[in-house]
Amino acid sequence: MTDKTLPDLDYLRNFLHYDPEQGIFYHKLTHGRAKAGDAAGCVHIDGYLRIQVKKRSYAAHRLVWLWETGAWPKRHIDHIDGNKINNRISNLRDVNQSVNMQNLKKASAVNKTGFLGVWFEKGPQKYRAAIRLNGKRLYLGYYATPEEASAAYFKAKKNLHEGYVF
């Protein structure tokens, strides 16, 4: 049984137009403050473009997947280049959460070093690099600088993470 709250492709195509070259949806009809021809959606606090459909907010990348494949994504939609608003179908892939996380390119805002997979160890006064593989942390060693630790991390990432594409 299908979820009646999800818009189907026919419903979506009645109200929006998708430009695959730009990766942007446009309104077909004027309604409320949205004018026909305007780009649809707005950037949410999480950095993803969201579009209102059937009085619900949807991530634009999930709507692109529906538009281009005819089916809702089964898993996570990964932005291959890491740009959360680049919704060209060529930049999207339906992957599991693990692969999606493997494609991270930069550290979270709470990482004090600013480098993915790197932190400072007070004891040895060095930077440590580690990577996750199959749910386990693999330590990659200690380094004098965060840049050296980051280089070790990305070398390991390239070799160990199937989801990492750069």
Domain limits at 120? Answer: 99-160
For residue 4, tell me if it sits in a domain: no
- pTM given for the model: 0.76
What number of other Cβ atoms are within 10 A of residue 54's Cβ?
12
For residue 36, tell me if it sits in a domain: yes
Closest CA to 12 of 91, 89, 69: 69
* 22-51 pLDDT per residue, tens: 999 999 999 888 899 999 999 999 899 999
For residue 136, tell me if it sits in a domain: yes
User: Per-residue pLDDT for 81 more than 50?
Assistant: yes
| Residues 123, 47 share a domain | no
CB contact at 8 A, 97 and 75: yes
CB contact at 8 A, 65 and 59: no
| Residues 85, 109 share a domain | no
Query: Where residue 52 sits, what CATH number does that domain have?
Result: 3.90.75.20
Could you give the number of structural domains in the chain? Answer: 2
In this predicted structure, what is the pLDDT of residue 109? 79
For residue 149, tell me if it sits in a domain: yes
The pLDDT-based confidence of 68 (bands split at 50, 70, 90) is very high
* 92-121 pLDDT per residue, tens: 999 988 777 777 777 777 888 989 899 999
* Alpha carbon distance 166, 9 (integer Å): 33
| Residues 56, 32 share a domain | yes
| Residues 153, 112 share a domain | yes
